[in-house]
């Protein structure tokens, strides 16, 4: 029989938040696959686990995945953990879960802490429905597209961000959503220096420009409260001709067509080359 892949949520910071079931699972499995073994080793020591600790992160090679799958398919139980919170949520663990499912490996979730729910709980913004976008791309058309999605979202939006880029994100959000949009910045959740600061995007951008954030950060942005207006997308050929006439390169035109009209990049490149 195949072993089981346990997807185990671990504390955001406070070890007291580790559930008894999660602790028992970490003690019982043969292997723990961790995003950062240096971070997870103290957790295993805390619960008295003698499991083998192996790395599984965004840069893991195919051989690392195959090794874990081989362990699972030969009857060994494996626990998947991330540095903090729930694995596979804006986390490289999703790739291992998908690979295990493709091999018909049994999967069991051990639920627990997640920064998404923790931040929503203290932000003071509507959480009946929300949109989670994780980490935004650092730059380019994909970042602009997702910033626009935040601006037009009917529902509250939750984002993750690295502390050194929080001020930049808030400034970009203020430009996209309007400076008076309500938001919250939650950092170091469950830790000694936990802080949730609320206000308008303008206020928060100004604050973090002069007082850089530290620790893990979750940003929550209020929604518009109204359905997104249905927009008519431009005709790809008409738009391509217009952009080419303005002197844009074929590559730039194709990229913009894909972003603005919804057609695939391959289709956009083919259309531009035909013109």
Domain ranges of the chain: 5-113, 116-221, 236-274
**Sorting pLDDT into bands at 50, 70 and 90, what band is 267?**
confident
Task: Write the pLDDT tens digit of every residue in 162-214.
Answer: 999 999 999 999 999 999 999 999 999 999 999 999 999 999 999 999 999 99
At residue 4 the predicted structure's pLDDT band, cuts being 50, 70 and 90, is: very high
Q: Which fold has domain 5-113?
A: Cobalt-precorrin-4 Transmethylase; domain 1 (3.40.1010)
C-alpha span between 9 and 17 (Å, rounded):
10
How large is the average pLDDT for residues 216-244?
86
| Euclidean distance between CA atoms 153 and 223, whole angstroms | 5
What pLDDT, on the 0 to 100 scale, is given for residue 130? 97
Residue 11 confidence (pLDDT) above 70: yes
DSSP structure string for 77-140: -EEEE-SSB-TTSSSTHHHHHHHHHHTT--EEEE----HHHHHHHHH-S--SSEEEEEEPPSSH
Q: Indicate the pLDDT class of residue 56, thresholds 50, 70 and 90.
A: very high
What is the overall mean pLDDT for the chain? 94
pLDDT digits (tens, 9 = 90+) for 89-115: 999 999 999 999 999 999 999 999 999
- Asked if the model's pLDDT at residue 134 lies above 70, the reply is yes
What's the CATH number of domain 116-221, 3.30.950.10, 3.30.700.30, 3.20.20.70, 3.40.50.1220?
3.30.950.10
Q: Is the pLDDT of residue 228 over 80?
A: no
How far apart CA 181 and CA 22 sit, in angstroms, is 39
Report the pLDDT value the prediction gives residue 230, as an integer from 0 to 100. 64
**How far apart (Å, rounded) are the C-alpha atoms in residues 143 and 105?**
36
């Amino acid at each position: 029989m195949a072993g089981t892949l346990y997807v185990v949520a671990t504390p955001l910071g406070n070890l007291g938040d580790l559930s008894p079931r999660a602790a028992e699972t970490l003690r019982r499995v043969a292997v723990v696959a961790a995003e950062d073994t240096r971070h997870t080793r103290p957790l295993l020591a805390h619960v008295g686990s003698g499991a083998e600790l192996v790395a599984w992160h965004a840069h893991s090679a195919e051989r690392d995945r195959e090794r874990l799958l081989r362990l699972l398919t030969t009857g060994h139980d494996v626990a998947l953990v991330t540095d903090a919170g729930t694995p596979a949520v804006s986390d490289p663990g999703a790739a291992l879960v998908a690979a295990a499912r493709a091999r018909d490996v049994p999967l069991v979730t051990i639920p627990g802490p997640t920064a998404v729910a923790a931040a929503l709980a203290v932000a003071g913004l509507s959480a009946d429905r929300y949109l989670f976008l994780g980490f935004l791309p650092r730059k380019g058309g994909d970042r602009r597209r997702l910033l626009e999605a935040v601006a037009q979202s009917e529902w509250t939006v939750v984002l993750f961000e690295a502390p050194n880029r929080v001020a930049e994100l808030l400034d970009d959000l203020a430009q996209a959503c309007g400076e008076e949009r309500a938001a919250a910045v939650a950092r170091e959740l469950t830790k000694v220096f936990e802080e949730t600061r609320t206000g308008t995007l303008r206020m928060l951008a100004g604050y973090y420009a002069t007082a850089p954030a530290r620790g893990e950060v979750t940003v929550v942005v209020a929604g518009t409260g109204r359905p997104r207006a249905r927009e008519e997308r431009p005709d790809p050929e008409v738009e391509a001709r217009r952009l080419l006439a303005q002197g844009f390169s074929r590559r730039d035109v194709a990229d913009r067509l894909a972003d603005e009209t919804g057609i695939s990049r391959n289709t956009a490149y083919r259309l531009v080359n035909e013109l």
